[in-house]
Amino acid sequence: MITKLTESIIKNGLHCPEDKSRIEFCDSELPGLYVEVRATSQGQGTYYLRYKDSTGKTCHQKIGRTTDITLVEARKRAKTLKAEIALGSDPRRDEKAMKAVLTFSDFFENHYLPYVKPRKRSWKRDDELYRLRIKAVFGHKRLNEITRQQIQLFHTALMHEGLAAATCNHHIKLLKHALNLAIDWEMLQTNPASRIPLFHEDNKVENYLEQHELERLLNVLRTDDNRSVCFIAMFLLSTAARLNEVLRATWSQIDQHTRVWRIPASNSKSKRVRAVPLNDSAIEVLSQLDTEGKFEYLFINAKTKLPYVTIHKVWERLRKKAGLSHIRLHDIRHLHASLLVNSGRTLYEVQQILGHSSPSVTQRYAHLSTKSLQEASNSASVKIKEAMIKSM
């Protein structure tokens, strides 16, 4: 039915004949624009634009409901669509392409995770960040619907939730990495997470022990009944290795003759083979283990007969027993570094023993050498005083 659409017709004339299921009111003022009225929704309809695509096929693009937009707005949108179509655009094709893009959940669960599982040791952490917070915000969105502003608002909301700056940043880094892979796999054109400023991370928290505190800790590790975990803690202190490296240490990696522990790239944070010197206290720990020749791994849980996965619960008890509730497992690594620096060892030596990839990481321990530097400076002072006495 061709007629000049008016506001009056839109308000009062949209009725479908009883013998039809639907009817079209075609606008004579703007060819292609029409209102579809169905028998099931008398008195209201939907604006459409009829057009031909590049192949000559007739297509229909929905503009909006008559209850949601006015006739003036419908004509304006129809004119814009016609202009875009004249320049080569195809609304239906673009809409189908949009719907063909994966949602973030589909992409993350069926593409990202299968890819990173054999390539990234921390993939479980990625999955945790996704399940706890990212999925609820971005899971239902298609990859090309995610915007920079949405990610920035999400980043800020995490901070307001009370998460540490580093944790907030981990979420953004994960989104950026995942969406970069989507670009590599030609599922996305641009990454909305790129160039988003991260929060400043003041995560250089280091707890050191005074001599009397170290003695209390060693007394607990020497006498507590849970010998396996005490041996692990002593080995951590003796080698400055990371907990994951120690828990995954095998006897095949240990050469007691040359006193070297070779950590394979698969276990090393730097992803490179690392040689750790075994000092006297480390060798003493190895001599007390009863797993050599019986098990593959150094440290075995006596109850399960399996390698340890974590010791944090037992460590919580041990540190409280020593009156050192503020000392974390990772602080043992810092403690080893402090012992080295304050014994006069160079930062280069500390870097090699701790397995740091960059000297800048080791530089955080530079302030610990103050005592050594003062002693060195005092040696010059002694000479100065001796010269002063002789000159008198």
Q: Which residues contact 354 (CB under 8 A, 6 or more apart)?
A: 240, 333, 336, 337, 362
Are 299 and 168 members of one domain? no
Q: Percent of the chain beyond pLDDT 70?
A: 92
What residues make up the domain containing 121? 104-184
- 85-88 own/partner pairs: CB under 8 Å, 24+ apart: 85/51, 88/54
Sheet holding 254-255, edge to edge: 254-255, 260-263, 274-277
Q: Give helix 165-184 / helix 148-160 axis angle, nearest 10°.
A: 160
Are 218 and 358 members of one domain? yes
Are 116 and 68 members of one domain? no
- Average confidence (pLDDT) over 4-18: 90
Residue with tokens 């298609």: 142
pLDDT at 94: 64
Are 356 and 289 members of one domain? yes
Tokens standing for residue 183: 């670009």
Give the three-class secondary structure for 51: strand
Q: Which of 184, 219, 245 is the last residue of a domain?
A: 184
Going by DSSP bridges, is the β-strand pair 22-27/2-3 parallel, antiparallel, or unpaired?
parallel
E strands present in the chain = 2-3, 22-27, 33-38, 46-52, 58-65, 254-255, 260-263, 274-277
For residue 314, tell me if it sits in a domain: yes
Are 350 and 218 members of one domain? yes
Are 152 and 90 members of one domain? no
Are 242 and 260 members of one domain? yes
For residue range 32-75, what is the model confidence (pLDDT) as tens digits? 999 999 998 899 999 999 988 878 889 898 999 999 999 999 99
pLDDT at 307: 94
Are 137 and 79 members of one domain? no
Using CA atoms, how far apart are residues 153 and 144, in angstroms rounded to an integer? 17
Sign of CA dihedral 170, 174, 180, 183: negative
For residue 244, tell me if it sits in a domain: yes
Predicted confidence (pLDDT) at residue 354 exceeds the cutoff of 90: no
Q: What is the mean pLDDT of the chain?
A: 88
Higher model confidence: residue 267 or residue 329? Answer: 329
Give the three-class secondary structure for 59: strand
For residue range 161-207, what is the model confidence (pLDDT) as tens digits? 999 898 999 999 999 999 999 999 988 989 999 999 999 865 555 67
Phi, psi of 384 (to 5 degrees): -65, -45
Confidence of residue 327 (pLDDT cuts 50, 70, 90): confident
**Overall residue count recorded for the chain in this entry:** 392
Q: What angle do CA 3, 88, 76 make, to 5 degrees?
A: 40
Cβ–Cβ under 8 Å, residues 350 and 333: no
- The residue type at 219: N
Are 345 and 241 members of one domain? yes
Taking alpha carbons only, the member of 190, 185, 193, 276 closest to residue 239 is 276
Are 46 and 124 members of one domain? no
Q: What angle do CA 280, 302, 307 make, to 5 degrees?
A: 70
Q: Around Cβ 314, how many Cβ atoms within 10 Å?
A: 17
Sheet holding 2-3, edge to edge: 2-3, 22-27, 33-38, 46-52, 58-65
Are 234 and 358 members of one domain? yes
Predicted confidence (pLDDT) at residue 97 exceeds the cutoff of 70: no
Q: Which of 149, 184, 219 is the last residue of a domain?
A: 184
Q: Which of 132, 149, 184 is the last residue of a domain?
A: 184
Confidence of residue 388 (pLDDT cuts 50, 70, 90): confident
Using CA atoms, how far apart are residues 259 and 276, in angstroms rounded to an integer? 9
Residue with tokens 């950026």: 176
Are 116 and 258 members of one domain? no
Cβ–Cβ under 8 Å, residues 269 and 242: yes
The total domain count for the chain is: 3
For residue range 213-233, what is the model confidence (pLDDT) as tens digits? 889 999 999 999 999 999 999
Beta bridge partners of 262: 275
- Alpha-carbon distances, residue 175 vs 122, 149, 157, 197, 269 (angstroms): 15, 13, 15, 13, 22
E strands present in 206-279 = 254-255, 260-263, 274-277
Cα first-last separation, the chain? 122
Confidence of residue 371 (pLDDT cuts 50, 70, 90): low
